[in-house]
Amino acid sequence: MKSRWIPGNQATLLENGEGYFPAVFDAIRNARHEVLLETFILFEDKVGLELQAALLQAARQGAQVDVLVDGFGSADLSPAFLDPLLAAGVHVRSFDPSVRVLGLRLNVLRRMHRKLVVVDGTRAFVGGINFSADHLADFGPQAKQDFALEVRGPVVAEIRRFLLAAIGADGERHVHLPATAAPQAVAGTAQAMFLRRDNHEHRNDIERHYRAAIRGARQRVLIANAYFFPGYRLLKDLRRAARRGVDVRLILQGEPDVPIAKTAASLLYAHLQRDGVKIYEYCERPMHGKVALVDDDWATVGSSNLDPLSLSLNLEANLVLRDREFNATLRARLEHLMAGACKEVTACGEQPSRWWPQLQAFFVFHFLRHFPRWAAWLPQHRPTLGRPVAAAAVLSEPAREGRRAG
């Protein structure tokens, strides 16, 4: 399925679990025909239990409900959680499930990292928010800052077709959808393009559209991304944009949930700052967002980080929009974060006597330059779809921590 611009859509920005969960749960609870849901992480906490209740209500109202979770990110769903769903007719599958070897899970690479929901063919949700309580402010200092969007309009039909195939439900049944879900139904003025990254036909689609937008920027580039360690060419595009006078700003992690994320990104700071890129660290809580905007009408929200895992290994999905109103809304929220919860990282200038950081940077840049080619050498097995492994009902904190980077 080739990505294409589709006119006639309406997009609403949803910030954090407080904005996302009420909207998506309300949509699922009111489903009458179909619910399609993919997520990297689904935990059996208060958010997971509310999702379970919403899915059960939809199934009991006659909707066909299909759920796909990642075999690494959601490995420990218990029989107490799964059995009521299966008894109600919900189809629950796991992407690439595997058993533990010496207590460890080995299916860490090439994860299904997407977060997508489509309800009744009329509403779709795309973003970076998992179904877990750490996306709510009352979780505490480690609560994540993140974004998603709800979209209505013709692009929903394309997201639905993708999900039916990805979940493995397209050949199993045919759901009669209302006429309002037809591809020609117009909901707004936004042009939308649904992008995915896989290891076959769409290896670099998300990165390619980021780079094209940055190369065409004339006023501003504003990126908020949790795990920033992009490819060499994308870095070069950011530097060139800044050199020609574009206001290029990055919002990165200042209080990371995975400390190595900040360490890795910081190796790039001086390289970017020398050309005028401004870097802000979000310090209120972990930044988990994967959003960007360019000039006044281009924006993207999705699951893809700008790091080697997302750009070369994981299965990801982003929605790109051409819409001045949505762009302005996202820009206002990001500028609010910069003004109230970020610190700008000041440029350190040239320090030739500090040879060790320069040596580190040298290896980092060459690693980034060649990583996409090296990633192609990793095993490319065909992942399986099956029922999630029913293990312990309660995850240990170390097990949970390893998956919070999603």
288 is catalytic: yes
Question: Which residue out of 70, 288, 307, 323 is catalytically annotated?
Answer: 288
- CB-based contacts of 406, cutoff 8 Å, min separation 6: 40, 41, 70, 73, 111, 113, 130
Cβ contact 6:195 at 8 Å: no
- One of 33, 91, 113, 262 is an active-site residue; which one? 113
HSE-up of 115 (CA within 13 Å, CB side)?
Answer: 29
Q: Residue 81: helix, strand or coil by DSSP?
A: helix
Per the annotation, the verdict on 91 as an active-site residue is: no
Q: Among this protein's residues, is 290 annotated catalytic?
A: yes
Name the catalytic one among 76, 120, 146, 307.
120
Q: Tell me the backbone φ, ψ of residue 95, rounded to 5 degrees.
A: -85, 115
Give the span between the Cα atoms of 388 and 93, in whole angstroms.
Answer: 6
**113 has catalytic annotation:** yes
Instruction: Clarify whether 115 is annotated catalytic.
Output: yes
Cβ proximity of 331 and 222 under 8 Å: yes
By C-alpha distance, which of 116, 316, 96 is closest to 226? 316
Q: Is 170 a catalytic residue?
A: no
Q: How far apart are CA 357 and CA 270, in angstroms?
A: 10
Which one of 91, 144, 262, 290 is the catalytic residue?
290
Q: Which of 198, 275, 295, 296 is catalytic?
A: 295
Check 33, 91, 115, 135 and give the catalytic one: 115
Q: What residues are labeled active site?
A: 113, 115, 120, 288, 290, 295
